[in-house]
Structure 1
Amino acid sequence: GEIKDGFVHGRGAADQTGGPVAGITAGRILKEIGLPEDVTVYVTATVMEEDCDGLCWKYLIEEEKLMPDCVIVTEPTNLNIYRGHRGRMEIVVSFFGLSAHGSAPERGNNAIYMASKAALEIEKLNERLADDPFLGKGTVTISEFVSTSPSLCAVSDFAKIHLDRRLTWGEDKELALNQVEEIVKGMNAKVELLNYEKTSFTGLKYGMEKYYPTWKIEEDHPVIQTGVKSYKELFKQEPLVDKWTFSTNGVAINGLFKIPVIGFGPGVEELAHAPNEKVPIEHLVKASAFYTMFVKKINR
């Protein structure tokens, strides 16, 4: 990385090293000024979120038995207060055909044709998915299409499509899977929710299904209102209370385990994974101050 013109530049500056650094700084400040009575603060620098949102927190809660009263997610919010985002899930649909010589395709059953017909219906499904006034519309898109054939002179006997399904409020995995099952009904096809299981840098192998529930916290919830009060006291103005477009560990913290979550982080979401990724140093300072103020106020 590089420090230049008031920014920290480099991969992960906004997503997601700035937030933990501000959290660690807030921890030091709280240690110096004194924590409120009966308050314990954890700064969790978790791993594997890019691959599997919430996996790290599922482990912390289920295996380490860490069950906080509330969590600040420090993903970039441009110093706004965020209270939710759409969920998502990864679905694979496999199509099983019957190969035949390419000179007589009528003898076979082309898996690519089956998958293509399903793909056109999935495109139509996207247009009629549910909407939510705060979180926005559910979506589905095909992110991968693969097929196999015994040769380039033969009818394809297998095809597979990978679906990126974004879930709005009121949508869940059963609904989403049933919608796809309905489309491929009558085809020789199998619909599956993918499972994630990989080994971390520590050698630990831990997994979960690739279903990341939608979550949102009501604006009048005490955690959100504590954030609003902290922001106004620090910065002498009203905060923007909004949502993320991308996904965070909130899918597990609140989506699975119903722990209250507030989002507040340095940097802008639009620069996440971008070649010009950067975070303002001013954001790091202000985020540290916000986290400190939030902890001081949450116990009142």
Structure 2
Amino acid sequence: MLKELQEKVLADREELFAVMQRLIQIRSYSGQEEEVVTYIMEKMAEFGFDEVWSDGLGNAIGRIGDGPVKIMWDAHIDTVKVTENERWKFPPFEGKIADGKIYGRGVVDEKAAMAGYLFAGKAIKEVFKEQPLPFTLYVVGSVLEEDCDGYPLRHIIEKEGIKPDYVLLGEPTDLRVYRGQRGRMEIEIATYGKSAHGAHNQQGVNAVYKMAAIVKEIEQLDKNLQPVEPLGKGSATVSDISSKAPSLCSVPDYCRIHIDRRLTVGEDQTLVLEQFRQIADRLQIEAEIEVPVYHGKSWKGTEFEQEAYFPTWILEEEHPLVKAGLAAAAQVLGQAQSGVWSFSTNGVATAGRHHIPTIGFAPGKEELSHSDREELVLDDLLKAAQVYAVFPFTLMETINRK
């Protein structure tokens, strides 16, 4: 049966590549995904998915089967923007195919997984037709991930009432089974002073000078953070700084910094905020320290907000879901390896907030994401689609064996 599923995907090889090309040709920046959502839903319906819809946020969702075990495949279908300074080998929305590769914005991050899911679902429907399946498979093309990672799946779980038992993410893993990621959070720190004319600056209190001392301490904090396997070390980066004063000839009475804090195993929001409070206390500087709230609107006009905290998560190597992913990869590739991401994914919602077992598997190299070097080996896309097709069945076998 697993071989038959693989052969079905293989038979659709050229159509798979054509659909992948079309996904790249449809520009889908965050908040502008309507056209690609419509295209994906049309393909789901064409391929015989049992139910197809777009939820209240604008995610594309297709269902196959109605068995008791709920599995979710997620691929975010929005992309970051192309900038005028990028130097692409081929136009980023052409979907150029050359020398066994496809080029363009989103080929790695992460429309390849969506293409693979579609044809894996097609294969399952063709092999099993109307036979009952032991699982319910939700195939999700999620929106807005680049703007607010995790929120689209939080919406599905918390607003739409679909809570899967297991999740497979389509962020690039270079055909390895990934089982976790560093978390991240954003922090804003503000200091206050007293403004005065620059000619009489001794009469003022410079908020920038106060902040300079804090920034120096944050630099040292970053150097002192220790690695924790398998995710490595966290980091603290001052990514933006601004100040306010009556004029450019005045002492600033306000200064603000924005910090990107990456979180390893054992680091969470409480710990991080305390680290920054201790810095201010040690320096005897009064400072406001807070986690900003992201406000957004989807292509459907749905407004939402989320605190800028995205928890770390890790699944043990011996977890049944990891074993099932490795078994599916080995079935197709002949071997399988595990790993972890360096960047953040929608797993911050499923695994980080809702503690749903989550893994990732997809073609493409993570380091090519968000760059003008995005390219994908088409044979890797084909292999990934075959892995997706057999994965629900290796998962059921692993669960039943347990």
Query: How far apart, in 2, do the equivalents of 1:164 and 1:264 lie?
Result: 26
Quick check: 1:97–1:188 contact (8 Å CA) kept in 2? Answer: no
Query: How far apart, in 2, do the equivalents of 1:188 and 1:27 lie?
Result: 57
Q: Which residue is equivalent to 2:351?
A: 254
**1:106 and 2:202 are equivalent in the alignment:** yes
Query: How far apart, in 1, do the equivalents of 2:306 and 2:364 lie?
Result: 29
**1:28 and 2:125 are equivalent in the alignment:** no
Q: Which residue is equivalent to 1:299?
A: 396
CA deviation after TM superposition for structure 1 residue 203, in Å: 0.2
Residue number among 222, 228, 234 corresponding to 2:332 in the alignment: 234
Q: Which amino acid aligns with 2:111?
A: T
Residue number among 340, 347, 353 corresponding to 1:243 in the alignment: 340
Residue number among 99, 108, 111 corresponding to 1:17 in the alignment: 111
Q: Which amino acid aligns with 1:195?
A: V
Q: Which amino acid aligns with 1:18?
A: A
Aligned in 2, Cα 1:177/1:37: closer, same or farther, shift over 3 Å? same
Please give the secondary structure, in 2, of the residue aligned with 1:161: strand
Residue number among 190, 204, 212 corresponding to 2:310 in the alignment: 212
Encode CA deviations 1:203-245: one digit per residue, 9 max, x unaligned. Answer: 00012101000000000000000111122222222x2211111
Query: How far apart, in 1, do the equivalents of 2:154 and 2:298 lie?
Result: 14
CA deviation after TM superposition for structure 1 residue 37, in Å: 2.5
**1:6 and 2:121 are equivalent in the alignment:** no
Q: Which residue is equivalent to 1:200?
A: 298
CA deviation after TM superposition for structure 1 residue 38, in Å: 2.4
Question: Which residues of structure 2 form unaligned runs of 5+?
Answer: 1-94, 398-402
Q: Which residue is equivalent to 2:223?
A: 127
Query: How far apart, in 1, do the equivalents of 2:362 and 2:123 lie?
Result: 17
Q: Which residue is equivalent to 2:178?
A: 82
CA deviation after TM superposition for structure 1 residue 36, in Å: 6.5
Q: Which residue is equivalent to 2:249?
A: 153
Encode CA deviations 1:32-58: one digit per residue, 9 max, x unaligned. Answer: 112763211111000111111100011
Q: Which residue is equivalent to 2:261?
A: 165
Query: How far apart, in 1, do the equivalents of 2:339 and 2:122 lie?
Result: 29
Q: Which residue is equivalent to 1:224?
A: 322
Please give the secondary structure, in 1, of the residue aligned with 2:122: helix
Q: Which residue is equivalent to 2:140?
A: 44
Query: How far apart, in 2, do the equivalents of 1:19 and 1:149 lie?
Result: 49
State the TM-score, normalized to the length of structure 1. Answer: 0.97
Identity %: 42
Residue number among 274, 277, 281 corresponding to 1:178 in the alignment: 274
Kindly tell me the number of residue pairs found equivalent between the two proteins. 299
Query: How far apart, in 2, do the equivalents of 1:169 and 1:66 lie?
Result: 28
Encode CA deviations 1:3-33: one digit per residue, 9 max, x unaligned. Answer: 1111111111100111111111111111111
Quick check: 1:84–1:217 contact (8 Å CA) kept in 2? Answer: yes
Query: How far apart, in 2, do the equivalents of 1:37 and 1:57 lie?
Result: 24
Query: How far apart, in 1, do the equivalents of 2:365 and 2:248 lie?
Result: 48
Query: How far apart, in 2, do the equivalents of 1:290 and 1:210 lie?
Result: 34
Q: Which residue is equivalent to 1:67?
A: 163
Q: Which amino acid aligns with 1:228?
A: L
Encode CA deviations 1:153-196: one digit per residue, 9 max, x unaligned. Answer: 21111111000000000010011011111112232320010111
Query: How far apart, in 1, do the equivalents of 2:144 and 2:193 lie?
Result: 36
CA deviation after TM superposition for structure 1 residue 202, in Å: 0.6
Please give the secondary structure, in 1, of the residue aligned with 2:202: helix
**1:269 and 2:366 are equivalent in the alignment:** yes
**1:92 and 2:176 are equivalent in the alignment:** no
CA deviation after TM superposition for structure 1 residue 129, in Å: 2.1
Query: How far apart, in 1, do the equivalents of 2:381 and 2:136 lie?
Result: 22
Which ranges of 4 or more aligned residues in structure 1 deviate by more than 3 Å?
none
Query: How far apart, in 1, do the equivalents of 2:293 and 2:127 lie?
Result: 45
Quick check: 1:85–1:246 contact (8 Å CA) kept in 2? Answer: yes
CA deviation after TM superposition for structure 1 residue 276, in Å: 1.9
Question: Which residues of structure 1 form unaligned runs of 5+?
Answer: none
